[in-house]
Amino acid sequence: MSPIETLFTRAKLADGSLKDIGVSGGRIISIDPSSAEAPLAESVDLGGALVVPGFVEGHIHLDTSFFGDAWIPHKPCTNGFDVHERVAFQAQNMAQAAPMDERARNQLDLCIANGSTQMRSHVMVDGSVGLKSLGTVLAVREDYRDYIDIQLVAFPQSGILKSSGTPQLMDEAISMGADLVGGLDPASFDRDVEGHLNVVFGVAEKHGVDVDIHLHDGGTLGLFTIEQICSRTRALSMQGHVAISHAYGLGDLPVEAVKRAAETIAASGVSIMTNAPGNHAFPPVALLRTAGVTVFSGSDNIRDSWWPYGDGDMLGRAMMIGYRSGFYTDDELKAAFDVVTDSGAKALRLDGYGLKIGAKADFVTLKAEHVPEAVVAIPRERSVYKAGRLVARNGAVIRA
Amino acid sequence: MSPIETLFTRAKLADGSLKDIGVSGGRIISIDPSSAEAPLAESVDLGGALVVPGFVEGHIHLDTSFFGDAWIPHKPCTNGFDVHERVAFQAQNMAQAAPMDERARNQLDLCIANGSTQMRSHVMVDGSVGLKSLGTVLAVREDYRDYIDIQLVAFPQSGILKSSGTPQLMDEAISMGADLVGGLDPASFDRDVEGHLNVVFGVAEKHGVDVDIHLHDGGTLGLFTIEQICSRTRALSMQGHVAISHAYGLGDLPVEAVKRAAETIAASGVSIMTNAPGNHAFPPVALLRTAGVTVFSGSDNIRDSWWPYGDGDMLGRAMMIGYRSGFYTDDELKAAFDVVTDSGAKALRLDGYGLKIGAKADFVTLKAEHVPEAVVAIPRERSVYKAGRLVARNGAVIRA
Ligand SMILES: [Zn+2]
Ligand SMILES: [Zn+2]
């Protein structure tokens, strides 16, 4: 057994116990009851702070936020929400914004400072931007490798069939370094569910990568699309490798229909991502979890062309999930926390996640009595450790 | 004109202008363009921070929160939500909690530190606690008079007709120092809309005080009760003196019915309080404002027997109102901010509110570019001034 390089003493775990956490080579190699004796290894006294695994930011857009850049007032659509017009507004906004890599860094700093140590970001790949955004974000990811682990999804923001050359671009995006294939409202955007999914799952199968599809379509159309995605997932034995982001259809259908859908989704090993939107029906988190569905979360858009909200804080997101879901008991608040930690790790198939021996030493210290209190109080005082190294404290990233 | 006692220099107002604010005797006596010259009076350099009026916490319960006390896990009702069972749970919880005055102080410190300088709190008055809670909160209010202005509502938590002796207690509560008469779901709680309102408006008329009624009843029953309250308000010429808190019925009826109701509410000068709840339909803020209804807000319960949420931050509440209402444009974000500032002042009929000459020097400095950014970013760095005196900075109350 390798010797402990750093011993984190007096860490209060979620069960209330006080432990000393030994770290070596960026991994947790020991978790023992806190001892009154002076530790031998280099030690960091956590002083009884609550210690939780680093948060999983499961859905973000590193390429499109204006956070940290000049304020861009939200421009409403001309005649009610129109996704094509919004994409056009986004192109206009991005033309006048700071360079993408600068904006991506701003957003990463925000997320890391708030305690996210793992992330999945969608990055636009379409006929207009080609693979340029992906190239930029790949380079930024490399620069941040000691701060946060990032999965990138090739995201067809302008549709796959409607945007010329996109199927080929999706394929190239994976070769270039994207980790997953994305998708976007196969029915309402491309008007061709099967054609859209043929490309998504085709590229995924060819490269052996996972899938994460944006699905805003609601009601029975959304439900139908979910069923089609589940069916393809099972046919390709991709259980555990497919996620649907938003899945609004699960939020606005009768509970009996949603229960049946939840069984299908669970049996297909498809994960559901929700950010608990403010004025839109969203998937019933408790019902899905009870059915065995992995529900994870993310900030989604942060201060971009789609809306002005978002703070990059996955603990705050857990509060919002609980608040919007009517979670009041300690067990319910723990469930909201699970969504932004362990369930996120499961959906992203993260290796070595959690406070356990052998896992990466990625953790956050919080000034809170326990997890339920942390979820409702969202304490700002935090220290964030990545691979055992302090990477952020009280809202500021610490450079090596 | 009295000489300036303190000059607050380089205050950025909501319109972006940089001003020097002169204060004397706790009031604003001058607002002039910032000058490069060294000021003569004792001066405080605000350094270009955004300066906004102190927030209006329009609905809170100072007697029932456990904030700052030991954590009490939320206990769900035995067979779905039952307000009588919840009141019983509350009594059990309060019997084991820290003394009420200590808990009220904890909650006040939280609110003041977040920037509230004006507050309306409901205080339980019923057959079980009598006027005891009111006595406690009145004493605490006196101790906090230099920190925050507080209106107290005699709140019949156990109903008026169902709880023996409550009509008499409501009357005595006003004589004792409560500022308003409260009420609670006249239909579903007391099962007698007219009987309940007879007492509420009877006591109000006798003492010449305002009214603020909790109304959770939804749908057409809620709407009917709103109409009855509006009708009595007009009959007694109490326009501007009556508020309905929650008014869930406005959130779950067809928009045409709500539009008609909004016209009645506006014509009756009745204000509507909403805290933008998480998983419950709530009044459409924009529609009501457009119709001329004064919409204000409050934290309502903070970590008490009803739910574990709440942080006493009215700027965060403005974000929640915007988030839950789908407010994205700058004008919409400003509307959310207005709900927790000027509209709150109007609903509470506050004298001398706002950043204007002659008003109380109650203001908050924020690290934000402008109001829309403040609403979405909820900056934590704040200084809070009451009557020109610094009462809190960055989350901590400063004792004189
Ligand atoms: Zn997205
Ligand atoms: Zn209340």
Report long-range pairs for A256-263 (Cβ below 8 Å, ≥24 apart): A257/A223, A258/A283, A258/A284, A258/A287, A259/A287, A259/A291, A261/A223, A261/A226, A261/A227, A262/A287, A262/A288, A262/A290, A262/A291, A262/A292, A262/A293, A263/A291
- In a domain, residue B260? The reply is yes
SS3 A70: coil
pLDDT band at A217 (very low <50, low <70, confident <90, very high): very high
Domain span including residue A247: 54-346
- B118 strand-pairing partners: B56, B149
Between the alpha carbon of residue A245 and those of residues A19, B53, B177, B278, the distances in Å are 37, 40, 54, 21
Residues A47 and A177 placed together within one structural domain of the fold? no
Confidence of residue A326 (pLDDT cuts 50, 70, 90): very high
- pLDDT tens across B83-129, in order? 889 889 999 999 999 999 999 999 999 999 999 999 999 999 998 89
Distance A214 CA to ligand 1 centre (A): 6
Please tell me whether residues B67 and B42 are part of one structural domain.
Answer: no
| Range list of H helices, chain B | 83-96, 100-114, 132-143, 166-176, 193-207, 219-235, 255-268, 285-290, 314-325, 330-339, 342-347, 371-377
* Contact indicator for A101, A116 with CB cutoff of 8 Å: no
* B300 alpha carbon – ligand 2 mean position (Å): 5
Query: Is residue A86 within 8 Å of residue A306, measured between CB atoms?
Result: yes
Mean pLDDT computed over A68-80: 93
Amino acid at position A99, single letter: P
Ligand 2 geometric centre to CA of A286 (Å): 27
Residues of chain B positioned with their CB less than 8 A from the CB of A311: 377-378
Confidence band, pLDDT 50/70/90 cuts, at residue A1: low
pLDDT value at A354 more than 90: yes
Q: Span A251-273, mean pLDDT?
A: 97
* B165, B123: one domain: yes
Say if CB B245 and CB B273 are below 8 A apart. Answer: yes
Given CB atoms, is B292 within the 8 Å cutoff of chain A? no
Clarify whether residues A304 and A331 are in a common domain.
yes
Q: Between chains, do A329 and B74 touch, taking CB under 8 Å as contact?
A: yes
Residue B30: both structure tokens together: 């001058």
Q: Which of B303, B325, B380 sits opposite A279 (nearest CB)?
A: B325
Cα–Cα distance, B397 to B400 (Å, whole number): 10
**B218 and B366 together in one domain:** no
- Determine how many CB atoms are found less than 10 A away from the CB of residue B349: 12
pLDDT of res. A84? 83
Report yes or no: A323 at the B interface, CB cutoff 8 Å.
Answer: yes
Closest CA relative to residue B342, chosen from B11, B109, B14: B14
Kindly tell me if the per-residue pLDDT of A2 is higher than 80. no
**Structure tokens that stand for B333 in this block:** 């974000």
Which ligand number lies closest to the CA of residue A123?
A: 1
Put simply, the chain A residues between 29 and 88 with a CB less than 8 A from any chain B CB are 71, 73-76
The phi, psi pair for B373, rounded to 5°, reads -65, -40
Distance of CA B177 to the CA centre of its chain: 18
A400 part of a folded domain: no
- Number of domain units in chain A: 2
Q: Quick one: how far is CA B381 from the chain centroid?
A: 22
The helix/strand count (H/E) of chain B reads as 12, 17
Residues 259-288 of chain A whose Cβ lies under 8 A from any Cβ of chain B: 278-280
Distance B99 CA to ligand 2 centre (A): 20
Vertex A196 angle, CA A195 and A199, to 5°: 90
A contact residues 219-258, partner B, Cβ 8 Å cutoff: none
Select from B309, B326, B346 the last residue of a domain.
Answer: B346
Angstrom distances, CA of residue B81 to CA of B77, B78, B85, B89, B217? 6, 8, 8, 12, 13
d(CA A370, CA A51): 9
Size of interface A-B (CB pairs under 8 A): 75
Q: Tell me whether residues A311 and B377 touch, CB distance under 8 A.
A: yes
ipTM for the predicted complex:
0.96
According to DSSP, residue B54 is labeled P
Q: pLDDT confidence of A20, banded at 50, 70, 90?
A: very high
pLDDT digits (tens, 9 = 90+) for A265-302: 999 999 999 999 999 999 999 999 999 999 999 999 99
Which residues is B21 bridged to in the sheet? B8, B31
The model's pLDDT over B59-71, given as tens digits with 9 standing for 90+, comes to 999 999 999 999 9
Shortest Cα distance from B55 to chain A (angstroms)? 20
B235 and B342, same domain (yes or no) = yes
Q: Is residue A148 part of a domain?
A: yes
Task: Report the alpha-carbon distance of residue A258 to residue A262 in Å, rounded.
Answer: 6
For every residue of B286-345, DSSP letters joined together read HHHHHTT--EE---B--SSSS-S---S-HHHHHHHHHHHHT--SHHHHHHHHHHTTHHHH
DSSP state of B352: S
Q: Do A380 and B380 touch (CB under 8 A)?
A: yes
Residue B322 located in a structural domain: yes
Q: Are residues A169 and A87 in the same domain?
A: yes
In the prediction, which pLDDT does B183 show? 98
Phi, psi of A192 (to 5 degrees): -160, 90
Q: Which two tokens stand for residue B369?
A: 């570019």
Task: Tell me: do B251 and B159 sit in the same domain.
Answer: yes
Chain A residues inside the 8 Å CB shell of B378: 311
Residue reference for tokens 């970013």: B377
Quote the DSSP letter at residue B356: S
Domain assignment present for B400: no
Q: What is the mean pLDDT of residues A363-374?
A: 98
Helix, strand, coil percent content, chain A, rounded in steps of 5: 35, 25, 40
Contact A37, A75 (CB under 8 A): no
Query: Cβ contacts of residue B362 below 8 Å, gap of 6+?
Result: B53, B54, B117, B118, B353, B385, B386, B387
The predicted pLDDT at position B1 comes to 57
Question: In angstroms, rounded to a whole number, what is the distance separating the alpha carbons of residues A353 and A237?
Answer: 24
Min Cα separation B251/chain A (Å): 12
Q: How much is the pLDDT for B39? A: 72
Q: How confident is the model at residue A330 (pLDDT cuts 50, 70, 90)?
A: very high
| Mean pLDDT rounded to a whole number for chain A | 96
Q: Is the dihedral of CA A154, A157, A161, A165 positive or negative?
A: negative
Q: Mark A54-71 as b/e (b = at least 16 C-beta within 10 Å).
A: bbbbbbbbbbbbbbebee
Using pLDDT thresholds of 50, 70 and 90, give the confidence band for residue A37: confident
Answer whether B20's CB lies under 8 Å from B324's CB.
no
Which residues have their alpha-adjacent CB atom under 5 A from ion ligand 1?
A: A 300
B155 and B97 within one domain: yes
Q: B317 and B288, same structural domain?
A: yes
Do strands A389-393 and A382-386 pair parallel, antiparallel, or not at all (unpaired)?
Answer: antiparallel
pLDDT of residue B164: 87
Contact B311 A369 (CB under 8 A): no
Query: Do B71 and B200 fall into the same domain?
Result: yes
Q: Are B278 and B245 in contact (CB under 8 A)?
A: no
Residue B184 sits at φ, ψ, to 5 deg, of: -155, 110
Supply the pLDDT for residue B163: 87
pLDDT at A81 exceeding the cut of 90: no
Smallest CA–CA distance from A334 into chain B, residue = B73
A216 in a structural domain: yes
Where is the domain boundary, A328, A346, A364? A346
CATH assignment of the domain containing B334: 3.20.20.140
Q: Are A104 and A137 in contact (CB under 8 A)?
A: yes
Residues A325 and A391 in one domain: no
pLDDT beyond 90 at A38: no
Cα angle at B367 between A117 and A392, to 5 degrees? 20
Instruction: Indicate which ligand has the atom closest to the C-alpha of A59.
Output: 1
Q: Record the tokens describing residue B398, joined without a space.
A: 């400063």
A336, A369, A374, B17 from A377: Cα distances, Å = 13, 10, 5, 35
Contact B376 A76 (CB under 8 A): no
Question: Which parts of chain B sit beneath pLDDT 70?
Answer: 1, 38
CA of B62, nearest ligand number: 2
Residue A34 resides in a domain: yes
By CB atoms closer than 10 A (0-12, 13-18, 19+), residue A394 is exposed
